[in-house]
Structure 1
Amino acid sequence: MELVCPAGTPAALRAAVEAGAHSVYCGFADETNARNFPGLNFSRPELAEGVAFAHRHGAKVLVAINTFPRAGDEAIWHRAVADAEKAGVDAVILADIGLLAHAAKHHPKLRRNLSVQAAAANADVINFYAREFGVSRVVLPRVLTVAEIAAINRETEVETEVFVFGGLCVMAEGRCSLSSYATGQSPNMNGVCSPASEVEYVQEGAQLAARLGNFTIHRVGASEPAPYPTLCKGCFTSGDETGHIFEDAVSLNATELLPQLKKAGVTALKIEGRQRSRSYVAQVVRSFRAAVDALEAGRPMPTSALAALSEGQASTTGAYAKTWR
């Protein structure tokens, strides 16, 4: 199975490739990709250099142009597709139907992958994207069991890519409005979820409050770590319960499920983390490359040593086992 790894910066791209990534995915430093944060992403020259480096080492580069264009400003997204092709990338990762149609018409030789932002979660819609826009691969949303993924693969010839490590989004990707509601910016349109410009930490007596926009997401004591205030992983009160109502602060880690995912017909394994350091990227990629190589060779799977890199030092298999609270 192909190991698809995050590259938020040119340094992270080099680290991922040198650690054994089969492919890396990245984005331009603008609102055309869903990780549009200061200090991240690639200029046009940096992308061309990154592609050349990856290709010299036998790796591929995929560019995420996976936000939804604003009406009247489509040229920004059209230019990103053209510039990605000019840089020699191996595929673009798109979500918007209009942008897919544009790419299919004006860049027919450029491979088109369907972003998780499209939230394509059944064979019918995946086959529609393949038929109408020539989509070669779909990144499946993180809401499916292994059995559901296997069923999809029996009904489509489109390659499937699934997340196996990193941040766990509990919403339907491309449909979440929480960040937009709280801050006016969303990953779907602006490429920003819970933007740092809206984050504030305020001392309230003996407690430290973590706020996003005008909303208090966490309150912690003096000896407790203050988490980043992401809405879906905040602490809320519902009825008599106060806590992580939507999702705990944990990371997805599906290492133990790799044999089942291979049997289910999965083509590629995606690691989340374009906001992470190059050291983080290198460690995670090395661990998963060892696991993928062992699986391919029929050797026992190595024990995962990634707990320290998981959010809250805890991990979950997420929806793959479908154990919702």
Structure 2
Amino acid sequence: MMELVCPAGTPAALRAAVEAGAHSVYCGFSDETNARNFPGLNFSTEELTEAVAGAHKRGAKVLVALNTFPRAGGEKLWHQRLADAEAAGADAVILADVGLLDYAATHHPRLRRHLSVQAAAANPDAINFYAETFDVKRVVLPRVLTVQEIAEINKEIDAETEVFVFGGLCVMAEGRCSLSSYATGKSPNMNGVCSPASHVAYAEEGNELAARLGGFTINRTPKDRPAPYPTLCKGCFTSENQTGHVFEDPVSLDARHLIPALAKAGVTALKIEGRQRSRAYVAEVVRTFRAAVEAVEEGRPMPEGALARLAEGQAGTAGAYAKTWR
């Protein structure tokens, strides 16, 4: 059966994911060592230790994301978090930075290493480099590949592959985003925060509500309509006299119908995005995907689900898996 890897932004969400049927959960520490560094999210060392013990009692694994890029002169924080993850009993760490991968392989050789999507390794040569050099056991593939491309990659690598099947999308090849950094001075890939709430502001202007990020107006909506969170890549912009979502529509990835094809392509694990989401969201999405994975494993038709209302913009897309623009 393909492994279902589920998000846990808080200890409560982790428990909800495990109880709903997650094979593995992924989480991070409460600092800039992980790419979801938001107030109210993530784990202290004590919380992680307790969470790992609880997950293991129910047969689930815990993967710790240390997937940002250490700042020059600040590496000790990332090094300490590697030690903390191992001491807590984590089943693997998810890393992106080459230097941190080397440090982990040298100083924590028994701690299983996964390559983060932030590393953007999207071809066999890149993946085999990480596997051979740092003994990376699994690579989380960027959301830019078709199912056929994933199948071809799996024929040529000596590592497991993990792919996203539900949740938020990023317009950039992961690990390469500069939009939020430009607007706010906070880098998603180094500070671990995209479109930080501390830089968000709303203002009523006439009959519209303006949503701004770092002083830039990202969206304008009528006062009687819901105002979207001002994420730069999903904002409305004017280009060549047309106004709309120039970079990316505010929709979510939903590749549940592709699970049989992904299994045939040799994918080891399916990943759900959503560490900023509530435990109720996590529980419902995990239950739906666990039922789908079990159905595929047993050769049964996948059950119908109603996840659209949980998706951003209440709409879903197959994203790059289909690549209909080609």
Determine helix, strand or coil for the equivalent of 1:35: coil
1:16-69 Cα shifts (integer Å, max 9, x gaps): 000000000000000000000000000000000000000000000000000000
Determine helix, strand or coil for the equivalent of 2:180: helix
2:53 — aligned with what?
52
Which deviates the most, 237-246 or 17-26? 237-246
1:19 — aligned with what?
20
Displacement of 1:170 in angstroms is: 1.4
2: CA distance between counterparts of 1:25 and 1:315?
23
Displacement of 1:240 in angstroms is: 2.5
2:133 — aligned with what?
132
Determine helix, strand or coil for the equivalent of 1:71: coil
Displacement of 1:10 in angstroms is: 0.2
2:103 — aligned with what?
102
Determine helix, strand or coil for the equivalent of 1:30: coil
Aligned partners of 1:143 and 1:170 also within 8 Å: no
What amino acid is the match of 1:320? Answer: Y
Aligned partners of 1:2 and 1:23 also within 8 Å: yes
Which deviates the most, 91-100 or 315-324? 315-324
The answer to whether 1:244 aligns with 2:265 is: no
1:233 — aligned with what?
234
2: CA distance between counterparts of 1:258 and 1:170?
23
1:193-251 Cα shifts (integer Å, max 9, x gaps): 00000000011111110000011000001221100000000001111321011111100
* Equivalences for residues 26-41 of structure 1 within 5 A: 26-41=27-42
2: CA distance between counterparts of 1:173 and 1:253?
18
Superposed structure 1 runs of 4+ greater than 3 Å apart: none
1: CA distance between counterparts of 2:158 and 2:95?
19
Displacement of 1:160 in angstroms is: 0.4
Determine helix, strand or coil for the equivalent of 1:142: coil
Displacement of 1:323 in angstroms is: 2.1
Unmatched tracts of structure 1, length 5 or more? none
Determine helix, strand or coil for the equivalent of 2:209: strand
TM-score by length of 2: 0.99
Which deviates the most, 300-309 or 5-14? 300-309
1:92-131 Cα shifts (integer Å, max 9, x gaps): 0000000000000000000000000000000100000001
1:316 — aligned with what?
317
1:183 — aligned with what?
184
1: CA distance between counterparts of 2:292 and 2:111?
31
* Equivalences for residues 1-325 of structure 1 within 5 A: 1-324=2-325
1: CA distance between counterparts of 2:223 and 2:52?
46
2: CA distance between counterparts of 1:163 and 1:324?
20
Determine helix, strand or coil for the equivalent of 1:49: helix
Aligned partners of 1:255 and 1:304 also within 8 Å: no
Determine helix, strand or coil for the equivalent of 2:109: coil
RMSD: 0.8
Aligned partners of 1:114 and 1:135 also within 8 Å: yes
Determine helix, strand or coil for the equivalent of 2:296: helix
Unmatched tracts of structure 2, length 5 or more? none
2: CA distance between counterparts of 1:86 and 1:92?
12
Displacement of 1:303 in angstroms is: 1.2
Determine helix, strand or coil for the equivalent of 2:142: coil
Aligned partners of 1:182 and 1:212 also within 8 Å: yes
2: CA distance between counterparts of 1:27 and 1:287?
24
Displacement of 1:186 in angstroms is: 1.5
What amino acid is the match of 1:244? Answer: H
TM-score by length of 1: 0.99
What amino acid is the match of 1:77? Answer: W
What amino acid is the match of 1:202? Answer: A
1: CA distance between counterparts of 2:48 and 2:146?
35
1: CA distance between counterparts of 2:208 and 2:325?
31
Displacement of 1:300 in angstroms is: 0.5
1:283-321 Cα shifts (integer Å, max 9, x gaps): 000000000000000011111210110011100000000
Displacement of 1:89 in angstroms is: 0.4
Determine helix, strand or coil for the equivalent of 2:174: coil
1: CA distance between counterparts of 2:235 and 2:285?
26
1: CA distance between counterparts of 2:19 and 2:114?
24
2: CA distance between counterparts of 1:12 and 1:222?
33
Number of residue pairs the alignment of both structures matches: 325
